[in-house]
Amino acid sequence: MTELATLRYSGKNYELPVVVGTQNEAAVDISKLRSQSGLITLDNGYGNTGSCSSSITYVDGEKGVLKYRGYLIEVLATKSTFVETAYLLIFGDLPTTSQLAEFRKLLMQHEFIHEDMRHHFDGFPPNAPPMAILSAMMNAVGCFEPVFMQADDDEYFMEPAARLMSKIRTIAAASYRKSLGKPLIYPRSKLRYVENFLHMLFSKPYEPYEADEAVVQALDKLLILHADHEQNCSTSTVRMVASSQANLYASVAAGVCALWGPLHGGANVAVIDMLSELVESGQKLDKFVERVKNRDEGVRLMGFGHRVYKNFDPRAKIIKESCHRLLDKLGIEDPLLDIAMQLEEVALKDPYFIERKLYPNVDYYSGIIMRALGIPTDMFTVIFAIGRLPGWIAHWREVHTNDSGRIDRPRQIYVGHTAREYLPIEDRG
């Protein structure tokens, strides 16, 4: 039987059903609240708002648990591949051998972008941020592809999903090459997903890039760790755009824009900027931490804190280990890693961070891994976007197959002027 929560307001009781998820998370269903009581809820930043029911990803922020479709992230990061994990997110189950082979074949078939699309890159100024190019191109790619999608048919949907996952990699590499004024490199079908991306980033027209297996594995794992994170800012954006029945390309392009900000995916760049400045300036770490605590303008400990994780971010744990392993394997000594570890130690002992439950998040060490892989800083958030794409696709699909099919349209509490008299311009002083 459904449990009820009671809200008492203005002398009246309102009974609100409590919805319980498969992991026993409970929510008060307020969908009838306004029609019954005239009230809405107010929740700045949506910290207490469940915007949907979803069966894709589960996060327990208190215990530091992350699961995709019921599989622990630690298991997927060790045993799976990015392509397999993407399939899992989008289609709900791990693929069989033949399903995976089919998905890989489609990824290979769709790796080229339309020849006319190559000219779009010429319209951007030199040094255009790759995230700007990526968002524009994700929308543009929809003009060259069929936009009708039968979201509720697994077999049919495999092609558009693979098409977009394949194209984002080609577009991302091309936007990087464009930002350096270098010629675009065509994909090579026989390479695996990540290898092919590295090839398009780093090969020269006269000399193919041979990727070290440690590099391929590290990047593959990084993509798995970024593949979904339930209702984060960019995914909520994708879902909101999708709720207007917008097509997959438009919805994902909006997600790229949301991801760009330094409080979200752009944090991996901000972390490297912060660590580089600390190394270059030689500033004492406790002094820096004091500036963070004093809230000196624009100073935050980037890569720390999370809306949901209040104990630790399981992705950060895996990334930190992976970072050490990779740097050891490649024989790289990065002063940013040393300073990152020292800063983490200082912060984790400090009451400011302890009281607010601020721990390293996924972005704290990921930039150091990407530097070791030879990926330039302004591509970090693009890599995050490639990783997050399967999640966005899965959420777009969930919205499009949801029976309720309602457009997302929050309410507000208006706090502006009530009534003003219009003055002609000559009377305004």
Q: Which residues are catalytic?
A: 306, 363
Task: Identify which of residues 274 and 375 has a Cβ nearer to ligand CMC in the complex.
Answer: 274
Q: Whose CA is closest to 362, among 326, 324, 309, 298?
A: 309
Task: Identify which of residues 105 and 356 has a Cβ nearer to ligand CMC in the complex.
Answer: 356
In angstroms, the CA 279 to CA 298 distance is: 18
Pick the binder of ligand CMC from 95, 142, 303, 367 (CB under 6 A): 303
Least distance in angstroms from the C-beta of 144 to ligand CMC: 29
Question: What is residue 14's three-state secondary structure?
Answer: strand
Least distance in angstroms from the C-beta of 67 to ligand CMC: 17
Number of residues that bind ligand CMC (CB under 6 A): 20
Of residues 45-74, those binding ligand CMC (CB under 6 A): 45
Write the DSSP symbol of residue 407.
P
Least distance in angstroms from the C-beta of 78 to ligand CMC: 21
Pick the binder of ligand CMC from 301, 323, 337, 372 (CB under 6 A): 301
Pick the binder of ligand CMC from 16, 66, 224, 302 (CB under 6 A): 302
In angstroms, the CA 301 to CA 226 distance is: 21
Stretch that binds ligand CMC, among 80-88, 181-189, 301-309, 322-330 (CB under 6 A): 301-309
In angstroms, the CA 84 to CA 93 distance is: 10
Task: Identify which of residues 86 and 358 has a Cβ nearer to ligand CMC in the complex.
Answer: 358
**213-226 and 362-372 helices, crossing angle to 10°:** 160
Contacts of 143 (CB under 8 A, 6+ apart): none
Contact (Cβ atoms closer than 8 angstroms) between residue 340 and residue 387: no
In angstroms, the CA 185 to CA 170 distance is: 9
Contact (Cβ atoms closer than 8 angstroms) between residue 174 and residue 121: yes
Buried b (16+ CB within 10 A) or exposed e, 83-94: bbbbbbbbbeee
Task: Identify which of residues 211 and 385 has a Cβ nearer to ligand CMC in the complex.
Answer: 385
Contact (Cβ atoms closer than 8 angstroms) between residue 325 and residue 371: no
Task: Identify which of residues 273 and 321 has a Cβ nearer to ligand CMC in the complex.
Answer: 273
Of residues 260-279, those binding ligand CMC (CB under 6 A): 263-265, 267
Stretch that binds ligand CMC, among 36-44, 272-280, 296-304, 394-402 (CB under 6 A): 296-304
**82-91 and 380-400 helices, crossing angle to 10°:** 30
What are the helix and strand counts (H, E) for the chain?
Answer: 18, 6
In angstroms, the CA 226 to CA 366 distance is: 10
Least distance in angstroms from the C-beta of 313 to ligand CMC: 7
Task: Identify which of residues 107 and 272 has a Cβ nearer to ligand CMC in the complex.
Answer: 272
Of residues 7-36, those binding ligand CMC (CB under 6 A): none
DSSP 177-243: HHHTTPPP----TTS-HHHHHHHHHH-BTTB-----HHHHHHHHHHHHHHS--SS-HHHHHHHHHHH
Q: How far is CA 312 from CA 25, 317, 348, in A?
A: 19, 8, 11
Of residues 368-407, those binding ligand CMC (CB under 6 A): none
Query: Rule CB under 6 A: is residue 291 a binding residue for ligand CMC?
Result: no
Pick the binder of ligand CMC from 191, 211, 292, 337 (CB under 6 A): 292
The site map against ligand CMC for 332-361 (x = CB under 6 A) is: ------------------------x-x--x
Contacts of 299 (CB under 8 A, 6+ apart): 288, 291, 292
Pick the binder of ligand CMC from 188, 307, 325, 329 (CB under 6 A): 307
Stretch that binds ligand CMC, among 168-176, 257-265, 322-330, 333-341 (CB under 6 A): 257-265
Which chain residues interact with ligand CMC by CB under 6 A? 45, 232, 263-265, 267, 292, 300-307, 356, 358, 361-363
